[in-house]
């Protein structure tokens, strides 16, 4: 079967935009207020309003908008007091930023293997990674699928650890009745171009503690305090502010998100059931207790023996050749060059980490290494198409056998 010549297959292109997005940007240009100013003297309104609107969507008390999802994690860690030589437990199956933010805060990431069905951090493996240096855990809700946050929070409380949920894939995900990002001390989001809520670049941190929100705000706005003279700088801080253009775009995009989120959740059930009917395909299993999923992407794991021993690269390239957008998943963090070679920051001792040199051997991270070698991902915009289109994808996958 070839879709190239005769297929009616059409997936929405991401990002999806309309005149409301165009007007949002034009309005900022015309207003002449191209940055947000300070909390006491607003220049533009969009950043301040976006913070309120996104907090409402995520059912959070506070939201601090920042320039991207990487610095969102760093700011949360810094505000929680994570620093020099502290260890932070991070899922091994994620984008590099979940760990590079730990490096940026002068701490040491420790990688945790994954659950083979949900593909997120295996909470049963956390306790064995805790040492006297452990200060925090970063659960990453890969593809929007929740880490078992109730169990993780029990472990964190028992060991006095902070928790920063990396929700870069999990806008709108809900676990056991609570939106993700509200289980830990803080939840961080990315609005980078491929994300389900985007302004090209952007990020945010949500939290419930007033004290923590003030600290995060201060760190991301040059050490200032809210409603204070703007040349008073009370602590070490940097400029991670979001601009008005990003915030205006995000406000326009946020209006579209609830309907898109609903459609993705509906189509994901159809797609899952169809894919599950193919012998040799395993779909990402939602963690029991998941009420809604962000579905930043939809990973599947295949058994090469059931597909004529196809390699992963051939598997997704064949799909690409037929206009089906698929890609490789993230290489596990332990396998990245930067974590094999241990030349990250001067004067920081990475020798006790569970990666680097021989420790980065796949055998030490057996589940993620095995899953990675056989997994591919579909982008979230596929789940905004119709059942007819998703069915064609399923039929094509069957034809690869």
Ligand X SMILES: Cc1ncc(COP(=O)(O)O)c(C=O)c1O
Residue 70 sits in the site that holds ligand X (CB under 6 A): yes
263, exposed or middle or buried, with CB in 10 Å at 0-12, 13-18, 19+?
Answer: middle
Residue 220 Cβ vs ligand X, minimum distance, rounded to whole Å: 14
Is 74 a binder of ligand X (CB under 6 A)?
no
Q: Does 140 bind ligand X (CB under 6 A)?
A: yes
- Within positions 84 to 123, which residues make up the interface with ligand X, using CB under 6 A? 94-95, 97-98
By beta-carbon proximity to ligand X, the closer residue of 191 and 307 is: 191
- CB-nearer residue toward ligand X: 97 or 368: 97
Name every residue whose Cβ is closer than 8 Å to that of residue 33 and which is 6 or more positions away in sequence.
Answer: 43, 44, 45, 244
CB 40, CB 227: distance < 8 Å: yes
Q: Name the minimum Å distance from CB 169 to ligand X.
A: 6
Closest to ligand X by CB, 163 vs 394, is 163
Piece of the chain touching ligand X by CB under 6 A; list 125-133, 162-170, 373-381, 392-400:
162-170
Q: Using the minimum distance from each CB to ligand X, give the nearer residue, 58 or 190.
A: 190
Residue 260 engages ligand X in binding (rule: CB under 6 A): no
**Least CB distance from residue 145 to ligand X, whole Å?**
12
Q: Which is nearer to ligand X, 142 or 390 (CB)?
A: 142
* Binding to ligand X in span 285-344, by CB under 6 A: none
Query: Which of 21, 86, 148, 166 is in the footprint of ligand X by CB under 6 A?
Result: 166
Please say whether the beta carbons of 179 and 59 come within 8 A.
yes
Distance (Å, whole) CA 350 – CA 333: 15
Say if CB 183 and CB 149 are below 8 A apart.
yes
State the minimum distance, in angstroms, from the CB of residue 172 to ligand X: 15
| Shortest Å, Cβ 144 to ligand X | 10
Binding string, residues 206-245; x marks residues near ligand X by CB under 6 A: ----------------------------------------
Could you say which residues in the range 1-30 bind ligand X, by CB under 6 A? none
Interface contacts to ligand X, rule CB under 6 A:
68-70, 94-95, 97-98, 140, 166, 168-169, 190, 192, 203
């Amino acid at each position: 079967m070839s879709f190239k010549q005769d297929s009616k297959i059409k997936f929405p292109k991401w990002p999806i935009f309309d005149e409301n997005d165009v007007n949002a940007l034009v309005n900022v240009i015309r207003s002449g207020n191209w940055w947000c100013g300070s909390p006491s003297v607003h220049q533009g309104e969009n950043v301040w309003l976006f913070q309120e609107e996104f907090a409402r969507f995520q059912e959070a008390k506070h939201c601090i908008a920042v320039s991207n999802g990487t610095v969102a994690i760093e700011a949360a860690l810094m505000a929680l007091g994570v620093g020099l030589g502290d260890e932070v437990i991070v899922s091994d199956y994620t984008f590099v930023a979940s760990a590079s933010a730990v490096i940026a805060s002068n701490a040491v990431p420790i990688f945790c293997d994954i659950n083979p069905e949900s593909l997120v951090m295996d909470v049963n493996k956390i306790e064995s990674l805790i040492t006297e240096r452990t200060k925090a855990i970063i659960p990453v809700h890969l593809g929007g699928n929740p880490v078992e946050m109730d169990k993780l929070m029990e472990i964190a409380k028992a060991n006095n650890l902070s928790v920063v949920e990396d929700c870069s894939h999990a806008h709108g995900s809900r676990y056991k009745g609570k939106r993700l990002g509200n289980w830990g001390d803080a939840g961080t989001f990315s609005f980078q171009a491929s994300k389900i809520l985007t302004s090209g670049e952007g990020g945010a941190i949500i939290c419930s503690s007033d004290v923590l929100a003030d600290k995060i705000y201060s760190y991301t706005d040059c050490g200032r305090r809210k409603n204070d003279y703007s040349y008073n700088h009370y602590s070490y801080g940097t400029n991670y502010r979001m601009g008005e253009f990003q915030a205006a775009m995000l406000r326009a995009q946020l209006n579209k998100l609830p309907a898109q989120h609903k459609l993705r959740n509906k189509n994901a059930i159809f797609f899952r059931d169809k894919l599950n009917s193919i012998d040799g395909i395993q779909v990402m299993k939602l963690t029991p207790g998941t009420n809604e999923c962000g579905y930043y992407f939809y990973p599947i794991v295949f058994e090469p023996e059931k597909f004529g021993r196809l390699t992963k690269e051939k598997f997704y390239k064949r799909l690409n050749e037929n206009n089906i957008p698929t890609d490789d998943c993230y290489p596990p963090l332990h396998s990245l060059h930067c974590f094999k070679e241990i030349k990250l920051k001067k004067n920081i001792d990475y020798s006790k980490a569970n990666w680097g040199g021989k420790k980065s051997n796949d055998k030490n991270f057996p589940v993620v290494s095995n899953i990675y070698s056989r997994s591919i991902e579909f982008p979230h915009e596929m789940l905004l198409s119709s059942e007819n289109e998703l069915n064609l994808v399923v039929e094509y996958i069957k034809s690869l056998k």
